[in-house]
Each structure stands twice: as structure tokens, then as C-alpha cells.
Structure 1
């Protein structure tokens, strides 16, 4: 019975990702930037699960688009970088506490059916000597919030953003240090807003 339930959930997730991916590709034929206003950013109402989502924003913050791309096959850091490059962006930075909370809500909202949480690569790195997080441009990150198990005793240089569905479990929300070969569900991409290209 448990095996049947697991197969049903897996099939539902796969079907959902395929349908969402098709909608994402179709959406690229027409630039669709409908957003709902937030305090300082905007959250895009549509989902992006496929390559080729140039011009689409899941979160608009400080004149930058942030798009979450999920892969049921999971991705290494190199694969996540390639996915973001194909979407005309790069792996994302987190620019402050408010931005962290917007991205956390986005990642939580894309948790696959049957999973307790979701995990996405970021473009930031960990200085393994000082244990401080750096943005992709080499500057120190303005805001750092670690998952309860991170950083590891022997720190790893790359950063993922781990989020659980239970919003009350504050300790299970935040950055985790990883090896580039580790496979996780998503890539959080950052790009210029389309109207400023």
C-alpha cells in the first residue's frame, strides 16, 4: 500500500512538473510580467520549471529578477549554473533579511508533493577559514542565516538554501554549506529585469 502511495505521489509530481514546464515555455512566447506588489519587491504569479524562462520573474527585488528552477532529477552546482545560464542569468545572491524571507517563501511554495521541504543552489560561497558568506562578486553577504546543522564542522565552500514546509520550524530554514558535487532539487537564478536589458 505504501509503495502504491509513493508511486502515485511520484507520478503526480512528474505530471505537475511536465505541465508546469510546458506552461513556462509557452509563457515565453509572450513576455508576461504580471506581478503582485509586496513591500519592496514583487512576486510573480506563474511558476517556472523549465529551461528558457528568460523574461520571467518569480520574485522581483531591487531591480533584479529571481527565478526558481526545480529538477526532480536534482542538480550539482555545475548543472545549476548551466540551468541559470540557459535562463539568461546566474545563481542568485541574497541581499538582506527581507529578501531572504521573500526567497524562502518562493522556495517553500515550490516544494514537490510528498516532500517535507525544498532546497536550491545559490551563487554565494563560504570562506571556509572565517566561516563568513560571500556574494558572487566577492563582497561579504549583508545577511546570513544558517540552517541548524550548518555550517558543518569541516565547512564546505558552496551554499544552498534549505527550506521546510513547516514555517514554525525556524531552525530548519536557511543556508547550508555543500560540496559542488552534491545534488539538490533547485537552482535559484538571478538576472536583470527584462525592461532594463
Structure 2
């Protein structure tokens, strides 16, 4: 019985040490210890393969580093929040673009609840609430997604004080208050020139 185990062990070791075999005409490229190692029929020698592998490695690293503050329906969202109100709506879009993202939508009550949970601990000390820009708009008595489509379940996402009938309040922010039990939080339509605490971006 020991003899059989020894034979199996030797076979396993030999299999692990065997050179990688690839079908004729194929090329397998890898970066090993900082060097390009190619096995098979690799004819290109213009540096394009190593450039492709380096780019692939950088892309994978970037994806691994991307951390989502909120994930909803397979979409990744990040929030930029400041202690002071210093972000107008015009400031919000470049902030998202700097993270390779766009101004975000809040799609429904469940999505809004995720944001309330995430943003609540970020309310600055000494303040009772924060407002964070989204990419949504309020026009002609309709709540619109950033692509201009109307949102169908708008009533469940508004703060009870909103929507405000002032036609200058065309942009939408998420309002979160320190008292988590308060009903006075949700979406609010805001004048785009007002300063808010930050922005929500979809990455």
C-alpha cells in the first residue's frame, strides 16, 4: 500500500513540474517576477503583448481598489461629504467626473434607505442634518432621473416638506437628519446655486 502512495506522490510531483503545454499555434503570456514569460507559438516581439498585460494588470488593480460606499442593483455609488456646506450643484458634477463617475440617481425607497444608513454617521458634530446633491431634477411637478426620465414612485422618497413649488428649486438633494426616527428626511428640491455638504456619484 505504501508503494502505491509513493508512486502516486511521484506522479503528482512530476505533473506539477511538467512544462505547460499549449495547443499548436497558441501563445500563453504571463508576467512572472516582473518579466514577460511566453509559452507556445508567440511570434510578436514588438512590445505590444507586455503593454497589454501591464494595462490588464493596472485595470484589475484599479477594480480591486474601487470601494463602493453603497451598492444597489449591481451599481456602485460613492459619496463625497464635507463638514461644511460648500458644494453648489455646478461644483458637484466635476467632483464625480474626477472619480470617473456621474451624478447619481436615487431610484426608490430602498435605495434611499441605504443612503440614509450610510450618511447618518457622517453628519458633522454640532449639526442636525446634511444635504447631499444627486443628479436628479424636479421640473414641471415631476421628479426626473439624471437622464430626464420621470421616476414612477416619487411619493415614497420625498421629505414631507417637499417638493417645494418654487420653480427655481430644480435640483434634488438627499436630506438626512441626526434623529434617525424623524420622518423629515428624504429627497428635497433645492436651488442649484445653494451650497450643500457634498454629492453622491455613480461610479
Say whether the fold is shared (TM-score over 0.5). Answer: yes
Report the alpha carbon displacement of residue 182 of structure 1 after superposing the two structures with TM: 0.5
Listed one character per residue, the Cα deviations across residues 98-157 of structure 1 (whole Å, up to 9, x for unaligned) are 111101111212111221111100100012x2x110101111124322223222232311
> Structure 1 residue 138 and structure 2 residue 148: aligned?
yes
Q: Distance in 1 between matches of 2:121 and 2:94?
A: 23
Q: Distance in 1 between matches of 2:102 and 2:132?
A: 13
Q: In structure 1, the residue corresponding to 2:82 is in which secondary structure? A: strand
* Aligned residue in 1 for 2:166: 154
Report the alpha carbon displacement of residue 77 of structure 1 after superposing the two structures with TM: 0.3
Q: Distance in 2 between matches of 1:98 and 1:151?
A: 19
User: How many pairs were matched up?
Assistant: 139
> Structure 1 residue 96 and structure 2 residue 90: aligned?
no
Which of the residues 71, 75, 93 maps onto 1:60?
71
User: What is the TM-score normalised by the length of structure 1?
Assistant: 0.65
Q: In structure 1, the residue corresponding to 2:111 is in which secondary structure? A: helix
Q: Distance in 2 between matches of 1:114 and 1:72?
A: 10
- Where structure 1 has 5 or more consecutive residues not aligned to the other structure, the ranges are 1-29, 34-53, 192-197
> Structure 1 residue 75 and structure 2 residue 80: aligned?
no
- Where structure 2 has 5 or more consecutive residues not aligned to the other structure, the ranges are 1-60
User: What is the TM-score normalised by the length of structure 2?
Assistant: 0.63
Q: In structure 1, the residue corresponding to 2:200 is in which secondary structure? A: strand
Q: Distance in 2 between matches of 1:188 and 1:72?
A: 15
C-alpha RMSD of the superposition: 1.8
Report the alpha carbon displacement of residue 158 of structure 1 after superposing the two structures with TM: 0.5
